[in-house]
Amino acid sequence: MAKGKVLVIGSNATRIELQGGGWAPTGQYLNETVVPAMALIEAGYDVVLATPDGTKPHIDELSDSAGHFGGDETALAQARAFWAENPAMNAVRTLHEVIADGLDGYAGLFFPGGHAPAVDLMQDAEVGTILRHFHERAKPTALLCHGPIAVAAAMPHAREFRAALVAGDAGKAAEWAKGWQYAGYRMTVFSASEEKIVEDNVLHARLYFYMPDALHIAGGEVVTGTIDFEPHVIVDRELITGQNPRSDHPIAKALVEALDRARATA
């Protein structure tokens, strides 16, 4: 019998807007999705994947590389096979269905990264409903790389908050963020210096806002690592955040440990 169920919330975004007009292709990162999911299953938890529209998330092509698996081609092949074939990765539910069926049966929550959550999940009302449920019950809530920006969805005016960020109006964004459940939490997210490397070498354009700035404006105590692309995970109460793709294994370990602790004290 499984120890419990963990809800994995994926994005349906396939592109992100850029300054000056235009869009860049985006999606979820393969390793950030499958490494934690595989670790959860290995630890005895069932995984349920859900997205806003119930379709399987798009994997960012840049993440389909052995470089994100320590250069291990075998690990990459295993990840591809898991994503393509594992039942948990293919029985995708809508967020609406998950909420309607009841959230009490879930022991924990996980959001993978890639730029995609900064497009749809951070302003999705149903994501907000789910986050508030887990926050109120102090259930382990883990988010990786760009994934931590999704916690903005818990605020009362998440859509307006994002619009203010895109408009470059930090003051207005801070006003819309009032009442945010995660204000004062220590957290990490893909850093501005890491983002600039991506902008210069991959996007060849600028994003409208950086993730640490957005979470800081909202009231988060954002702490990023001193060395770009080195693993960095922060745990504050029920919230577990990882900074970048290489934080995939450490955040998986931290989430499993938090779930096991919660189960032992239930």
pLDDT of residue 1: 85
- The Cα–Cα gap between 147 and 198 comes to 16
CATH of the domain at 247: 3.40.50.880
- How many domains are contained in the chain? 1
Query: In degrees rounded to 5, what are phi and psi of residue 264?
Result: -70, -25
For residue 81, what are the contacts with CB-CB under 8 A and spacing of at least 6?
none
DSSP 46-84: EEEEEESSSSPPPBPGGGSSGGGGTT-HHHHHHHHHHHH
Ranges assigned E (strand) in the chain = 4-9, 15-17, 23-25, 45-51, 93-94, 106-111, 141-144, 186-187, 221-222, 233-236, 239-242
pLDDT of residue 31: 98
Neighbours of 143 (CB within 10 A): 29
Cβ atoms of residues 217 and 164 within 8 Å:
no
For 150-205, write each residue's pLDDT tens digit: 999 999 999 999 999 999 999 999 999 999 999 999 999 999 999 999 999 999 99
The position carrying tokens 């898991």 is 82
Single-letter amino acid, residue 258: A
pLDDT of residue 266: 84
Positions of the chain with pLDDT under 70: none
Domain range for 21: 4-265
Q: Indicate the angle between helix axes 73-85 and 30-42, nearest 10 degrees.
A: 80
Q: Quick one: which of 261, 259, 252 has its CA closest to 231?
A: 252
- The Cα–Cα gap between 114 and 28 comes to 4
Q: Which residues of 214-245 are buried (b: 16+ CB within 10 A; e: fewer)?
A: bbbbbbbebbbbeeebebbbbbbebbbbbbbb
Neighbours of 181 (CB within 10 A): 18
- The Cα–Cα gap between 179 and 156 comes to 7
- The Cα–Cα gap between 233 and 242 comes to 4
Query: What is the three-class DSSP state of 240?
Result: strand
pLDDT of residue 248: 98
* Strands 106-111 and 15-17, bridge-based pairing: unpaired
